[in-house]
Structure 1
């Protein structure tokens, strides 16, 4: 109906604005539901209703067949070709012929038939003085109509009418059948996309296109709709190639709904490189999407392109921890940074903030704060904790020292609000004071410390405080390592490994924990520690070093360890899989679920051609890990 919209009277400027607003609705670039199918159903309903009546407008091959088929072609192609946007049927036929959507002979037949039918219609209405379209079956009225149409007899007129009806119907069927079998499926773009939930996907798509919500009311203005039409082909192309088109649309909608000024977003998407990056984020970084929708200020970082900065460390002073996570989760999903750089940036940011807190608190005694675990060695992931210890030169004479570091801990937790920052790995655990002086710590290490604590202390790095005091502490650890009983070390390491393994059986039938399952990262940890704890020089040299550096140091240190070099590839693969999996699904931990959707996304992001290829690589790395474990532990 709106195709035939035209100005009658009133303010023409208002009419023009209104007509422009409607163009995106009348002539979209694509359809979630084929208009041809709707026209076909409507035409069938009309034919069933009129039965055998000779209605010049409604019978098969009549006026409606011409108008409906022409309008179908206009609706389908009007989003691309503005010249066919007209309410005049004869003009529309000419324009469709010019762009070769209908053939010249079809256009001529349609035009002559349309003029013929309209002349008949006008005669009938004039003679009956009413809006009628029914043809006289015989008699005087038929003779007068035939004479008016310049035919010698009513028989000649009826032959001409029947000829037009057959030819019009043939072209109509050709257009409608072609549109429903070819054009409709190519234009009904969502049908070619492998959605898990097509109904939900269609709702999401319609929202992105027009702002249509639960009440089926369009909320976007013409500007936004037209901006969407410009990017629509690229969205469709991405969705067709995506392993998770439902996820892409879900996240696209979440982001658009969570932010204001939709026209700004859609305008920015006209930069197709940026738009492709945005869709990639929707598919491969649930972490970034959740951070954006939970904190609208992150939208500015994305729209301004500041998330793509190559000088992230220059932003440490200005940005919160969650904003850093937002930036590096996006850069990880876009392959702008790798796993090791991601982890390094996290550790460096935390170290910077903790050191700044210490400086501001201005403690007037000798101490150091050191990090442990993945934080200390620069191997953090999205779910890593920040484990610290604090050691003072002397506690005696500093009555407020315990309160001072309670203040430090409170400030650290406030600054790094989404992180678990604690001193839980201090001697004697949570029941003991936060701060130990170096002599008391030395006594503890020499008399009560377990093997696992020395294993932990190998991942020790100063964060803030007195460097000389820290070096003295390292020397105390080194001296103690020299005295460890090799047999006891081996026994305790095996016991710890088995205890961890039994809690994490993970198999390919249910899940695999990249960190804790046998063959995972835990293997590498215990393989290296079984060597390091029995070689004091290597232990001291590798304190605070990352896993890759430890592997290299061990491989170079003595003959017989050269084969460990291959562990670096295994470590890099497992750490990358762990981090990418967390980023894609915004999950904690290191579990890979044995379900097609999860595996397919992870495999694709890690550049594998298939899940089978990914599983084969994972099994090979697991086997390598297990063989080294048997050899060294």
Structure 2
């Protein structure tokens, strides 16, 4: 459709358009002047709520548009905005005019695009150019006004700029109609300002500049916002400085840059270029992004990213998503960027951020055949046009096909189709073609089902067999007794499933899946009925979610892994039953058993969370839980296969918890600062907040079901106010921060809570403040704390916070643990506390590995006693917080004999290992009374020598 006057509006949309037109007439001061414009305006009101509502919100907008702006040629955005901002003297006016300017030109672009006057390539370019100008002019204004107060940030006698890297589609000049913008801020070098009323460091200047720029663009006002600004792609994400100088940026990417950051940097572009500095920045980034050699490792890295995206689509139950789904926009990007990352180091033509430009190079150089390149370009344009139209309907960031008839009709009409089904058929053809090319280049190879014949098992599941017939069939595989048990379990499941509401597709998928699953059970397990029952529990949990049944049917490797893991551990089977999203982790066996390095959980979590919109707090909480569940499953998989010893398992679970604690605190911090501002005196990149881990977290000994014993501290002036629009006292700020942290931990989402947390070890326990000043904490420990609180301190360590807080806490902990104590009194108090604990917690028959006499708790109390009684003369023994290294220190410092330390360590690890296995088997950590007898006797003997008579019950 070539001109807006030629649009023929279907009847269902005429009423919508008429309603909007009447609202506009009511809002306009001189409605009679609008009548000549009706013929051109009403059809667009029918097609776009955004166009209609914008004209109603700003009634003069329609006359301005139709008067001079509705031509396809791009206006001089920079000149127009310069004139508009010339007399702006305050930030509120700046925000207002930026938003009005954005609205005018986005309505213009939507109008031209929806009426078929703007090719998609030009539409994407104009949206990107408009965005560049809005960002650059807002930056210029903020820079100038900051310089008036602080002077200019200098380098070699000249002012230096803050360069703004546009990432993603903004960097590629192919920005969506309604998109957030991913930015990274950087500047040439440290130093200080010159020429202002107050001299500050360059880092402070550029941090303030970045904050003001984000506020100018992102803050929500009565006029809306210009863009949602996402800064999470910067070095270290939300925990990193807002602005980074070139040297630090170079160090980060050389030492810590990850594959996904290479992928992101392919599209990086300086929005506000500044001569030599822009080229210097490109020189820093180029070696990281484009390797000098042909780099085929990029394929596997992109394959991993695609796998994560596919998991996200399933987890969020996204359907009809033209960006992330199979054959979507992201797969085109992966195809093109695969060539860029592989060959870009040698072929400079590939070092450009625009996708279609690179695609033409691939065609010219015959890296893609002409026909494939042309089909890919046509499909990409079709998808981008569809995406553009979807977002022009309501100015919302969406890539999901509409589920209501009104918007389906609009989309079909704008895309030039007679009806929605015709459009959908055309769309599916394009996406199929893209996915086929993606699979040929990047896609994973699928395993086939095992060779075991499942035909007789197909009869077992699908035919109405008598018990005798079923037993006869199963006795080809099992003994008569086992066959009877197996059939009883299967038949009971079949009866249950028949009562459940399942769609036709789901039942057909289940009927195809079950024979293969039965074959795998009979082929692999020594306890087939037990394994079958575990697997059927999983199938029951997903029987109404056909996507997961199809996942297991179409991915034999995933089914094989499910069988293997459920056979090894009922705990894993229960986890998968409760959280079926874990089935996604089974798709790639090599990744299932490939653990994240212990020091990389934080960066892996950061990458995972980048896919979730920052403003969607509910999705953010769910994402944290999904990350924990998936990593926990990987650890368990490595555990049951013997890849990890028990201490390494605890290490991984502990580092995983630390990464999640860090992310939770940073998320809570961002939310609080956004509302109340920063506490006085807390610089950018710091929080003044610390998390102390006690117990198993403090001792690097977390298990799969462990809760977190935490204490929250801060070191800010409690009476000072925050610097935000709603200032509050710092003590209130940190209290609200702690409450928010607890909310993020404890809220139950579809994936449960993140961790159970226990704050009872804070000063005064449940009666005390949720967060305590570091000085008050130290005073409490020195003057008021009970002996058992000092014992707990021996198992504590700094888990999150600023370096200065870590140093302060380490000194405080050491000073308390090194206090001189009366040994006899201490022994009596430790013994009394242990007896109270046992009387309350040991209720079992047999030997309780944790609480039983001669068990784990006795060893822990012994080490704590030695630390508290001897640290005043040998401070080295209080450095570590885990029992194994405490015992090693006690041996080295000759506090206890070497053979005592070694046997206590052996007993401690033996108990922990056994308890660990019980958890994976879903059983309590209790053994027969005669097990570990020699170890228990030894521990009790040391207890009696050290603390007095042990209770041998």
If the TM-score is normalised by the length of the shorter chain, which range does it land in?
Answer: 0.5 to 0.7
Three-state SS of the structure 2 residue aligned to 1:566 is helix
Q: Is the 8 A contact 1:347 1:378 kept in 2?
A: yes
Equivalent of 1:431 in 760, 764, 767: 767
Three-state SS of the structure 1 residue aligned to 2:760 is coil
Instruction: Name the residue aligned to 2:858.
Output: 523
Equivalent-residue separation in structure 2 for 1:449 and 1:266 (angstroms): 59
Equivalent-residue separation in structure 2 for 1:403 and 1:304 (angstroms): 47
Structure 1 residue 246 displacement after superposition:
5.4
TM-score w.r.t. the length of structure 2 is: 0.41
Q: Is the 8 A contact 1:346 1:380 kept in 2?
A: yes
Instruction: Name the residue aligned to 2:475.
Output: 186
1:285–1:324 Cα change, 3 Å: farther
Equivalent-residue separation in structure 2 for 1:617 and 1:340 (angstroms): 22
1:82-128 CA-partner distances (Å, limit 9, x unpaired):
xxxxxxxxxxxxxxxxxxxxxxxxxxxxxxxxxxxxxxxxxxxxxxx
TM-score w.r.t. the length of structure 1 is: 0.59
Confirm whether residue 442 of structure 1 aligns to residue 442 of structure 2.
no
Q: Who wins on radius of gyration, i.e. which is larger?
A: 1
Equivalent-residue separation in structure 2 for 1:425 and 1:579 (angstroms): 25
1:391-434 CA-partner distances (Å, limit 9, x unpaired):
42643446723322233223323433322335432222232333
Equivalent-residue separation in structure 1 for 2:468 and 2:518 (angstroms): 22
1:535–1:394 Cα change, 3 Å: farther
Instruction: Name the residue aligned to 1:390.
Output: 713
Equivalent-residue separation in structure 1 for 2:906 and 2:528 (angstroms): 28
Structure 1 residue 527 displacement after superposition:
1.4
Larger relative CO (CA 8 A, sep 6+): 1 or 2?
1
Equivalent residues in 2 for 1:75-90, closer than 5 Å? none
Instruction: Name the residue aligned to 2:576.
Output: 292
Instruction: Name the residue aligned to 2:698.
Output: 376
Equivalent-residue separation in structure 1 for 2:456 and 2:813 (angstroms): 76
Structure 2 stretches of 5 or more lacking a match? 1-452, 609-622, 683-687, 722-727, 747-752, 948-953
1:173-202 CA-partner distances (Å, limit 9, x unpaired):
xxxxxxx9xx75633747453876862343
1:344–1:412 Cα change, 3 Å: farther
Structure 1 stretches of 5 or more lacking a match? 1-23, 40-75, 77-179, 595-611
1:540–1:198 Cα change, 3 Å: farther
Equivalent-residue separation in structure 2 for 1:627 and 1:214 (angstroms): 60
Instruction: Name the residue aligned to 2:839.
Output: 502
Three-state SS of the structure 2 residue aligned to 1:425 is coil
Equivalent-residue separation in structure 2 for 1:425 and 1:341 (angstroms): 27
Equivalent-residue separation in structure 1 for 2:592 and 2:849 (angstroms): 29
1:527–1:201 Cα change, 3 Å: farther
Q: Is the 8 A contact 2:715 2:775 kept in 1?
A: no
Instruction: Name the residue aligned to 1:354.
Output: 661
Instruction: Name the residue aligned to 2:788.
Output: 452
Instruction: Name the residue aligned to 1:342.
Output: 649
Structure 1 residue 496 displacement after superposition:
0.4
Instruction: Name the residue aligned to 2:551.
Output: 264
Instruction: Name the residue aligned to 2:326.
Output: none
Structure 1 window deviating more from structure 2 (192-201 vs 483-492): it is 192-201
Q: Is the 8 A contact 2:707 2:757 kept in 1?
A: no
1:48-89 CA-partner distances (Å, limit 9, x unpaired):
xxxxxxxxxxxxxxxxxxxxxxxxxxxx9xxxxxxxxxxxxx
Structure 1 residue 324 displacement after superposition:
1.8
**What is the aligned length?**
438
Equivalent-residue separation in structure 1 for 2:566 and 2:455 (angstroms): 30
Structure 1 residue 216 displacement after superposition:
13
Instruction: Name the residue aligned to 2:738.
Output: 409
Three-state SS of the structure 2 residue aligned to 1:309 is coil
Q: Is the 8 A contact 2:454 2:519 kept in 1?
A: no
Equivalent-residue separation in structure 1 for 2:805 and 2:456 (angstroms): 75
1:193-238 CA-partner distances (Å, limit 9, x unpaired):
387686234333x589xx7667999987777656654554431133
Structure 1 residue 288 displacement after superposition:
3.6
1:464–1:304 Cα change, 3 Å: same
Structure 1 residue 513 displacement after superposition:
3.0
Equivalent residues in 2 for 1:64-463, closer than 5 Å? 186-187=475-476, 189=478, 191-193=480-482, 199-204=488-493, 225=511, 228-230=514-516, 232-241=518-527, 244-245=530-531, 247-257=533-543, 259-261=545-547, 262-269=549-556, 271=557, 275-305=559-589, 306-311=591-596, 313=601, 314-317=603-606, 318=608, 319-333=623-637, 334-335=640-641, 336-356=643-663, 357-358=665-666, 360=670, 361=673, 363=679, 364-365=681-682, 366=688, 368-381=690-703, 382-392=705-715, 394-397=717-720, 400-417=729-746, 418=753, 419-463=755-799
Confirm whether residue 622 of structure 1 aligns to residue 936 of structure 2.
yes
Q: Is the 8 A contact 1:505 1:517 kept in 2?
A: yes
Three-state SS of the structure 2 residue aligned to 1:383 is coil
1:305-337 CA-partner distances (Å, limit 9, x unpaired):
454332262532225235423432453253344
Instruction: Name the residue aligned to 2:820.
Output: 483
1:479-501 CA-partner distances (Å, limit 9, x unpaired):
34332222221111010011111
Structure 1 window deviating more from structure 2 (329-338 vs 456-465): it is 329-338
Three-state SS of the structure 1 residue aligned to 2:762 is coil
Q: Is the 8 A contact 2:878 2:886 kept in 1?
A: yes
1:478–1:252 Cα change, 3 Å: closer
Structure 1 residue 502 displacement after superposition:
1.5
Structure 1 residue 265 displacement after superposition:
0.6
Three-state SS of the structure 1 residue aligned to 2:945 is helix
Three-state SS of the structure 2 residue aligned to 1:327 is helix
Instruction: Name the residue aligned to 1:578.
Output: 915
Q: Is the 8 A contact 2:698 2:795 kept in 1?
A: yes
1:437–1:348 Cα change, 3 Å: same
Instruction: Name the residue aligned to 1:54.
Output: none
1:395–1:540 Cα change, 3 Å: farther
Structure 1 residue 569 displacement after superposition:
2.4
Three-state SS of the structure 1 residue aligned to 2:761 is coil
1:300–1:200 Cα change, 3 Å: same
Instruction: Name the residue aligned to 1:568.
Output: 905
**RMSD of aligned C-alpha atoms?**
4.0
Three-state SS of the structure 2 residue aligned to 1:390 is strand
